[in-house]
Amino acid sequence: MPAMQIPGPLDSVPVPRVSTPRADGRIDLIGLSRDQIREALAESQLDPRQAKLRAKQLWHWIYNRGATDFHVMTDIAKDMRGWLEQRFVVGRPQVVEAQVSSDGTRKWLLRSDDGQDYEMVFIPDADRGTLCVSSQVGCTLNCRFCYTGTMRLVRNLTPGEVVGQVMLARDSLGEWPSQPDGRMLTNIVMMGMGEPLYNFDSVRDALKIVMDGDGIALSRRRITLSTSGVVPMMARAGAEIGVNLAVSLHAVTKEIRDEIVPLNRKYGLEQLLQACADYPGVNNARRITFEYVMLKDKNDSDEDARELVRLIRKYRLPAKVNLIPFNPWPGSPYECSDPERIRRFSSLIFEAGISAPVRTPRGRDIMAACGQLKSSSEKKSRAELDRLAEEKQLALG
């Protein structure tokens, strides 16, 4: 007897078509999972066995070799390559501008097919190279000290646009084929424009591609996702992505955090710290990073430092603290704490046995430093920004 169909979680959920064809009708394969590539091929009438094999080959060429031209894919028959080229592309974000800082930091302004601008930054160090990747165009969260938060337009980036940043960085660093050793791009931080946990699915799907062994193959231990505290999504981030977690704490009292990170009015400090304590896989070898921007006379007192230590202890968090000197931008309402104050703040935390390095600002001369990312031209008055912040706050509830 045929089993009755029971609707619900037991059914395999059909995956909606993620691939929106471009203006020329072709589909960009970047950002599609292996299964989605297979489906896209099957939809173009390739039989299932062929589709599976070709998807595997394409994956290798795209993510291991960095190929963007089907004609270099020598293990695929010539007429098949032509067939692919008629229907698909392997795209890259358009580069509007590329800048190099005197300290070697590089910044790219990128543009999507629909004309949205976003940025990525590469920060070379002696022992590593970190790519700072954007998750959204703009950000809805309006932290008072953040330049990105002043952008009016916000749109989620697609998985392809998130992975596209990594692909482009590797193109320009000459890092194909993908090799385990001797890489320049060794780490990824989701700390560019946007709140990654407000674009969860795309960020997850993109990072899955970045971590895939037959491809870019970056270990999850080398990837860090930074959130301003989207508490309901933190457990899922741990379970479904499993990368390192950084939390933009920035203040230790409700009053100050409400002011500088407005999301705190929705998800308070206790809830946030509890979610950190519950984050899967956290231990002494894999600590949570608390980012703390140093704002003069706002969050930088000895008392703040002591309270920070108390909270970390109270929630028994394996944690390190990253102190970020505030990077001013035109019209920013705060000043950076004095170097002496920052040193003192740092040593109070160190003395409690918690690592609290001060992050050196990089790429300041090209506005590539933390929190300075904001694409294109938009300029608004402080009054207008405050009004927008109020509106967004109301929307948050």
Contact, 33 vs 215, CB < 8 A? no
CB of 286 to ligand SF4, least distance (A): 22
Binding of ligand SAH by 375 (CB under 6 A): no
Helix (H, G, I), strand (E, B) or coil at 82: helix
Which DSSP string corresponds to 87-149? Answer: HEE---PEEEEEEE-TTS-EEEEEE-TTS-EEEEEEEE-SS-EEEE---EES-SS--TT-SGG
Which DSSP string corresponds to 212-269? Answer: -TTTT---GGGEEEEES--HHHHHHHHHHT--EEEEE---SSHHHHHHHSGGGGTS-H
| Catalytic residue, candidates 39, 119, 161, 195 | 119
CB atoms within 10 A of CB 214: 12
Span interacting with ligand SF4, options 100-108, 116-124, 134-142, 334-342, rule CB under 6 A: 134-142
Distance between CA atoms of 116 and 137, rounded to whole angstroms? 7
CB of 160 to ligand SAH, least distance (A): 20
The only residue of 62, 146, 216, 321 in contact with ligand SF4, by rule CB under 6 A: 146
Span interacting with ligand SF4, options 6-14, 69-77, 136-144, 308-316, rule CB under 6 A: 136-144
Contact, 65 vs 177, CB < 8 A? yes
Residues that bind ligand SF4 (rule: CB under 6 A) add up to a total of 11
**Interface pattern 215-254 for ligand SF4 (x via CB under 6 A):** -------------x-------------------x------
Helix (H, G, I), strand (E, B) or coil at 389: helix
Span interacting with ligand SF4, options 139-147, 306-314, 357-365, 389-397, rule CB under 6 A: 139-147
Task: Please state whether beta strands 129-132 and 136-137 pair in parallel, antiparallel, or not at all (unpaired).
Answer: unpaired
Binding of ligand SF4 by 137 (CB under 6 A): no
Residue 386, Cβ density class (10 Å: 0-12 exposed, 13-18 middle, ≥19 buried) = middle
Binding of ligand SF4 by 141 (CB under 6 A): yes
Binding of ligand SAH by 356 (CB under 6 A): no
Identify the DSSP state of 3.
P
Distance between CA atoms of 137 and 94, rounded to whole angstroms? 15
Distance between CA atoms of 372 and 163, rounded to whole angstroms? 22
Binding of ligand SAH by 323 (CB under 6 A): no
- CB-wise, 18 or 336, nearer to ligand SF4? 336
* 351 catalytic per annotation: no
Binding of ligand SF4 by 139 (CB under 6 A): yes
Binding of ligand SF4 by 148 (CB under 6 A): yes
Binding of ligand SF4 by 195 (CB under 6 A): yes
Q: Which residues bind ligand SF4 (CB under 6 A)?
A: 139, 141-143, 146, 148-149, 194-195, 228, 248
**Residues involved in catalysis:** 119, 370
Q: Which residues bind ligand SAH (CB under 6 A)?
A: 139, 143, 145-147, 191, 195, 226-228, 248, 291, 293, 324, 326-327, 370-371
